[in-house]
Every structure is written in C-alpha cells, then in structure tokens.
C-alpha cells in the first residue's frame, strides 16, 4: 500500500511538473524535423524520417527521464523530505520501490508517447516492438538514475554518472571490437587493457542491441536476439534496484 502511495505521488509530481511540456517539445521538434526532411529527401523519405525521428525520440526519452529522476530525487533530499519519510514507520524497501515504481511508470508513459508518434512513419508491428524496447530502456535508465541520485546525493554527479554509464553501455561493443584488433603489436599492456575492457563490459547492459532504428526501417521480430535484449535490460534494472536498495538501507537519518 505504501509502495503504491509513493508511486502515485511520484506520478503526480511528474504530471504537474515540466516533464509533459518537455516531452511535447521533443515530439514537436521530431515532427518538424521529419517534415523538413520529407521536403529535401530525393528517395526513401519515410525511412529517413523514421530513422531520424527514432534516434531523436529515443535520446529525448532517455535524457528527459534521467534528468527528471535525478532532479526530483535531489530536490526531495535537499528539502529534507527524505529524512521525514525515513522517520515514518514505513519499511525502507517500500519507500525505495515505491519511488522506483513511480519513476518507472513515468518512464514507460514517456517512452510509449514518443513511440506513438512513430506510427506515422513506420509499420505498427515494428513500432510496437521498438516501443517495448524503449519502455524497458527508459525504466532501466530511471532505475540507474535513482541509484546514482541516492548514492551521490548531488545533481551534476548523478546526471554525469547516469549519462556516462548509458553512453558507455551503448558503445561498449564497438570499444571491445577495437580493443581486440590484432593489427596492433601484441603486448602485455594491450592484453591487460583488453581484459579490463571485457571486465567492464560484464558490468554493463548491452544497450547497443536494444531499441534499434533498423527495426523501424526493416521490421523486427520476436526472436532470440530480441528476447535476450529485453531480458538483459530487465536483469540490469534488477541489479540497479538491488544496489540502490542496499545503499538506501545504509542511509542514516
């Protein structure tokens, strides 16, 4: 019950704040850009619109939810609201999971809204799979942003850490491929660097394999790769939640 109450208030805050307007602005920008591209493209107009809009809306959804989670959590901490809640007879897990549920619901609504716009330029089946992936990705980013906000307790470090993890996760496969290149002289330092990169990759979600723009262009199917991508994000969200809960239990009043 307490969890649901927390979630409800988080959702209420998101609705009454600037988030809907920012999301609307991002959608309008994407639509205007698509209209402009349709005028200048010589061929593959729909594909061009879908790819640019998909990339822009994905980045917008992730960026907005990360900023919202970090700013909301830090504002609550700075206003001493968190201390007040911690003094109440409500289990800490209920408080944390309630906040997370609220942010996850906000992320899901934001991602689904962004995906809806793409129905104008891509097939519904492809958009639905892309949308589910974006919802999971946004929920994951919300969980990570909540963890960093609670742990670092400062706005800029929390946003920087979330953005850093997200960008690293999206580029890690490319980094691993470059590190494994045999063209450079084999050396102990090079081997150590390669192993270090592989070790870091183990601790990151594989975000380069999710919410892919080519799904919108060439269609997507619920195959093994798709299920693995979604399951991998769910698993990482669970890890971020466990780590956040762990830190939250140790927080002193």
Residue among 33 and 204 whose Cβ is closer to other proteins: 204
Strand, coil or helix: 183: coil
Q: How far is the CB of 222 from other proteins (least distance, A)?
A: 15
Residue with the two structure tokens 């998101």: 14
For residues 123 and 218, give the distance between their C-alpha atoms in angstroms, rounded to a whole number.
9
Buried b (16+ CB within 10 A) or exposed e, 204-240: bbbbebbbbbebbbeebeeeeebeebbebbeebbebb
Instruction: Spell out the residues 6+ positions from residue 248 whose beta carbon is closer than 8 angstroms to its own.
Output: 92, 95, 96, 150
Residue among 8 and 251 whose Cβ is closer to other proteins: 251
2 interacts with other proteins by CB under 8 A = no
Q: How far is the CB of 20 from other proteins (least distance, A)?
A: 32
For residues 241 and 101, give the distance between their C-alpha atoms in angstroms, rounded to a whole number.
11
Q: What is the DSSP letter of 186?
A: P
Q: How far is the CB of 92 from other proteins (least distance, A)?
A: 9
| Piece of 2-10, 47-55, 103-111, 180-188 that binds other proteins (CB under 8 A) | 180-188
17 interacts with other proteins by CB under 8 A = no
For residues 113 and 135, give the distance between their C-alpha atoms in angstroms, rounded to a whole number.
10
For residues 48 and 135, give the distance between their C-alpha atoms in angstroms, rounded to a whole number.
23
| Piece of 8-16, 44-52, 102-110, 170-178 that binds other proteins (CB under 8 A) | 170-178
46 interacts with other proteins by CB under 8 A = no
| Piece of 26-34, 41-49, 126-134, 177-185 that binds other proteins (CB under 8 A) | 177-185
Residues 189-248 that bind other proteins (CB under 8 A): 201-204, 206, 209, 224-225, 228, 231-232, 235-236, 238-239, 241-243, 245-246
Other residues' Cβ atoms within 10 Å of the Cβ of residue 241: 19
Residue among 16 and 186 whose Cβ is closer to other proteins: 186
The encoded tokens of residue 32 equal 């205007």
35 interacts with other proteins by CB under 8 A = no
What φ, ψ does residue 3 adopt, rounded to 5°? -60, -45
For residues 25 and 147, give the distance between their C-alpha atoms in angstroms, rounded to a whole number.
27
Residue among 29 and 179 whose Cβ is closer to other proteins: 179
For residues 70 and 163, give the distance between their C-alpha atoms in angstroms, rounded to a whole number.
11
Q: How far is the CB of 173 from other proteins (least distance, A)?
A: 7
Q: How far is the CB of 193 from other proteins (least distance, A)?
A: 13
Q: How far is the CB of 174 from other proteins (least distance, A)?
A: 7
Residues in contact with other proteins by the rule CB under 8 A: 93, 173-174, 176-178, 180-183, 201-204, 206, 209, 224-225, 228, 231-232, 235-236, 238-239, 241-243, 245-246, 249-252
């Amino acid at each position: 019950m307490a969890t649901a109450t927390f979630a409800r208030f988080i959702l209420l805050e998101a609705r009454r704040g600037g988030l809907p307007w920012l999301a609307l602005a991002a959608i309008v920008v994407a639509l205007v850009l698509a209209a402009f591209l349709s005028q200048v493209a010589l061929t593959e107009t729909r594909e061009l619109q879908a790819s640019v809009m998909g990339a822009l809306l994905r980045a917008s959804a992730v960026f907005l939810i990360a900023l919202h989670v970090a700013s909301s959590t830090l504002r609550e901490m700075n206003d001493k609201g968190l201390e007040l809640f911690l003094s109440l007879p409500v289990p800490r897990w209920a408080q944390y999971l309630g906040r997370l549920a609220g942010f996850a619901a906000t992320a899901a609504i934001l991602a689904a809204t962004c995906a809806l716009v793409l129905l104008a330029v891509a097939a519904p089946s492809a958009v639905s799979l892309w949308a589910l992936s974006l919802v999971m990705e946004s929920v994951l980013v919300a969980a990570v942003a909540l963890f960093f906000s609670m742990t670092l307790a400062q706005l800029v470090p929390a946003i920087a850490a979330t953005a850093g993890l997200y960008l690293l996760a999206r580029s890690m496969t490319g980094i691993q491929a470059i590190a494994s290149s045999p063209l450079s002289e084999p050396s102990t330092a090079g081997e150590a660097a390669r192993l270090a990169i592989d070790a870091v990759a183990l601790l990151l979600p594989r975000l380069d394999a999710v919410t892919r723009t080519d799904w919108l262009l060439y269609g997507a199917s619920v195959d093994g790769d798709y299920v693995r991508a979604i399951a991998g994000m769910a698993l990482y969200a669970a890890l971020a939640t466990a780590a956040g809960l762990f830190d939250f239990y140790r927080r002193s009043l």
